[in-house]
Structure 1
Amino acid sequence: MATKGMNIPAIEKALGEKWEDTCARLEAAGGASASHKELADALYPQFEGRVDNHGWWVQGAVVAYEQEIGRRVPGQRADGTFDVAVSRTIPGDRSELIVKFASLIDSTLNEVALDGEPRTSETAKRSFWRADLDGGIKVEAAAETKSEGKTLFVLTVSKLPSPEALEVWRGFGKDFLKQL
């Protein structure tokens, strides 16, 4: 059975087994009566040492299974909220693009007020801008150098209350990134 929103062929390739077999493993672990954590905890050791980045692929498989059984829809987290991410490759330095992004924000983002001060940070690989918004919404902008003079910029909005809010923020994010 195909699951909208998840790439089942990629999961099959990564785990090295047919989707039906992965589903059978999840059913044996408690299926629809088990929590997301219980399913992931049961599947995790079965692929440890057999699959590169197995934790990531196990999480993806559990999410796909939950979508298939109707527990969640694409973009929905285990807690019932929704996340959306939009990205764009942009000319420029990653740190400078985070500063430019921050300069485009006043006290609101998509007409939702900031709740506290935004935070910035950097790792060897990425530059970040993070903020909390009213209603518990979380926003993260991440910039990563992709090639000489090109940066992958990803805007992620999480803890959204509905699929409709997800789509509103997706449109906002795509338009907002064009300003960079």
Structure 2
Amino acid sequence: MARQQGVRAVRGSEESLVEATGASYAQWFAKVDDAGAIAADGTSWPHGRIAAFLVEEGVAGWWAQHLTVVYEQERGIRAPGQRADGTFSASVSRTVDQPVPVAAERAAGVVADALGVPAPSLNLAAKNPSGRFRRDDGSVIVLGVSPRGEGRSVVALEHAGLDADADLDAVKARLRELLGGLDTPLA
């Protein structure tokens, strides 16, 4: 499918896949094909059915999801950046030298200010605080913060619920801009 650049699912190393699942991408894709995931008329199993088939074949949950997305993209069932519900999303992340509670509050404030909306409530006691910013167009920006070593955090932003005509590269650039706001010195 000719769509956005830079948002195709990352395959990961063949070695890691074989170590985790016992088979290569080509071998798993052949098994899914042989099981009838794509019919002669071009219709295909839904995402959940493909993932469930892989789990039944002994693939662990995360790997089954990963293989399903890569399979769908390789076979033209899903465009890069497309979610199972047909909408599109783009995400970025960044490691910052701030503990999780500080990074979460700062990120929520930066995004809220940029969007002109109130910051969502965050459970700062959670290991991985998160928040959702609902947009007037029905899309959502999801904030997630997780620990990355002593005093460091990974801040991730995902803009989900986008239409098929969304410029995902531009969306990612805007999300990176928002994360750049975390560089502002603390007051």
Q: TM-score, normalised by structure 1?
A: 0.81
Q: How is 1:73-84 mapped onto 2 (pairs within 5 angstroms)?
A: 73-84=79-90
Q: Which amino acid aligns with 1:5?
A: A
CA contact (8 A) 2:107 2:155 kept: no
Post-superposition offset of 1:98:
1.7
- Counterpart residue number, 2:185: none
Q: Distance in 2 between matches of 1:123 and 1:63?
A: 33
SS in 1 for 2:76: coil
Q: How is 1:29-178 mapped onto 2 (pairs within 5 angstroms)?
A: 29-32=35-38, 33-47=44-58, 54-106=60-112, 109=115, 118-122=120-124, 124-162=126-164, 164-178=166-180
Q: Distance in 1 between matches of 2:75 and 2:93?
A: 29
SS in 1 for 2:133: strand
- Counterpart residue number, 2:10: 6
RMSD of the TM alignment (CA)? Answer: 2.3
Question: Is the alpha carbon distance of 1:105 and 1:56 closer, same or farther for their aligned partners in structure 2, counting shifts above 3 Å?
Answer: closer
SS in 1 for 2:129: strand
Post-superposition offset of 1:164:
3.6
CA contact (8 A) 2:99 2:150 kept: no
| 5+ residue gaps, structure 1 | none
Q: TM-score, normalised by structure 2?
A: 0.78
Q: Distance in 1 between matches of 2:68 and 2:54?
A: 8
